[in-house]
Copies of this chain bind each other. A is one copy, B any other.
Amino acid sequence: MSMKLLILGLLMERERHPYDIRQTIKQRNWNECFKLRDGSLYYAVDQLRDHELIEAAEIVAVPGDNRPDKTIYRVTEKGKAAFDKLLYDQLSQVSYPQHPVFLTLPFIRYGDQEQVEQLLLKQLAACEDRIKRMEAVLEFKGPYIPNGSQMMIKGIKKFGETEKEWLLELLEETRSGRLLQGPSWSIEQIEQYLKSYSGPQISEE
């Protein structure tokens, strides 16, 4: 689980409490390619603690302040070894192209042209915003951050540009009416064909 990698990685820099980790993840824009939820963060911290990969260094309670105490964690020796493994595990994960629109496409012809066009335009706007954000990050933070972090931001930007091109193609298909057209074969015919298909093996993942 990648949350654990991020936590251990940040704790290798210095001691932190969970909320500080959360701030830092946002500050470094890691949440652009990763779903950050408080629940998952605190759960992962508990797991790491229970497995002795991290340990409480200090518990800060501001006197006369009734806000929750901060538990500041540090990484243990065991944790440093685990970090290494997690890093290579993450680097070995199979990647999957994901986009919410992908899975709508097989059914998009059941949708309404107007509706579909509007929603694709929203996707496009969100995508353009993301590209702009990444450009700003590169300009203002780029020179000061590690090369790897820069490559992450550049990657997000590059993927965003591809997404944008693809969304534009989709919009074109929608406007021309092609996207909403049914298949030239009936579902039954397609199923027959696919069942009897014996061309080159297209294996799964």
**Docked CA distance A117–B50 (Å):** 33
Closest 6 CB pairs of A and B: A93-B100, A105-B148, A146-B183, A105-B152, A108-B148, A97-B159
Size of the chain A interface, CB-CB below 8 angstroms:
101
Say yes or no: A99-B155 contact (C-beta < 8 A), given A148-B108, A204-B26: yes
Q: Can you spell out 15 A-B residue pairs with CB atoms less than 8 angstroms apart?
A: A29-B202, A33-B96, A33-B102, A83-B110, A90-B100, A90-B103, A91-B104, A94-B126, A95-B127, A97-B130, A103-B152, A144-B185, A148-B180, A159-B159, A159-B163
Specify which chain B residues have a CB less than 8 angstroms from the CB of A103 in the assembled complex. Answer: 2, 5-6, 30, 33-34, 90, 152
Interface residues of A (CB under 8 A from B): 2, 5-6, 9, 12-14, 26-35, 83-84, 87-88, 90-111, 115-116, 119-120, 122-123, 126-127, 130, 133, 136-137, 140-141, 143-149, 151-152, 154-156, 158-163, 165-166, 169-170, 173, 178-185, 187, 189-190, 193-195, 197, 199-200, 202-205
